[in-house]
Amino acid sequence: MSRVYIIVAIDRKRAIGFEGKLLFHLPDDMKRFKALTTGNTVIMGRKTFESLPKGALPNRRNIVLTKNPTAKYPEAEVFSSLEKAIENCKTDEKVFIIGGASVYEKALPLVDELCITEIDDFAPNADTFFPTLSTGEWIEKSREEHLADEKNHWTFAFVNYIRKK
């Protein structure tokens, strides 16, 4: 099977979105997201795809999940289930699950590594949340702390977790 990762930015309450949009603008997180996913495959739910300002992400294989059998999106492939999408990826393909909440929920039991940007704040309004990780199931593999600065207005950490064997 291809190597599958979850990539997500969460706040202290695990919030990830509000009214179809992201909660925090962190240019350094955007840069890291781009660096990790470029040249690889991204899988996302239909609502996350529709929230992308310029449509499909460039220089990546874009896969959109929807139950709508007639859906078509420019520069993206459409699958009706996460399992079918992952089965369609080659063994040497690096696959990033990029949200939203419903897709993270489905993907969590299938992935071996989580790339989480942990933002040290609460969003005032949020309606979409990342699932709670089961205690003892994940081990912190690496942590890179970043202080707020003039471009990134929140303190955050890039934290990678791997599944406990």
Contact positions vs ligand NAP (CB under 6 A): 8-9, 16-17, 20-22, 44-48, 51, 65-68, 80-82, 98-103, 106, 128
Residue 11 beta carbon to ligand NAP: minimum distance, rounded to whole angstroms: 9
Place of tokens 């791997």: 162
Residue 80 beta carbon to ligand NAP: minimum distance, rounded to whole angstroms: 5
Residue 95 beta carbon to ligand NAP: minimum distance, rounded to whole angstroms: 14
Q: Is 161 exposed, middle or buried (0-12, 13-18, 19+ CB in 10 A)?
A: buried
Between 4 and 44, name the residue whose CB sits nearer to ligand NAP: 44
Between 103 and 136, name the residue whose CB sits nearer to ligand NAP: 103
State the CB neighbour count (10 A cutoff) for residue 162: 14
Residue 129 beta carbon to ligand NAP: minimum distance, rounded to whole angstroms: 9
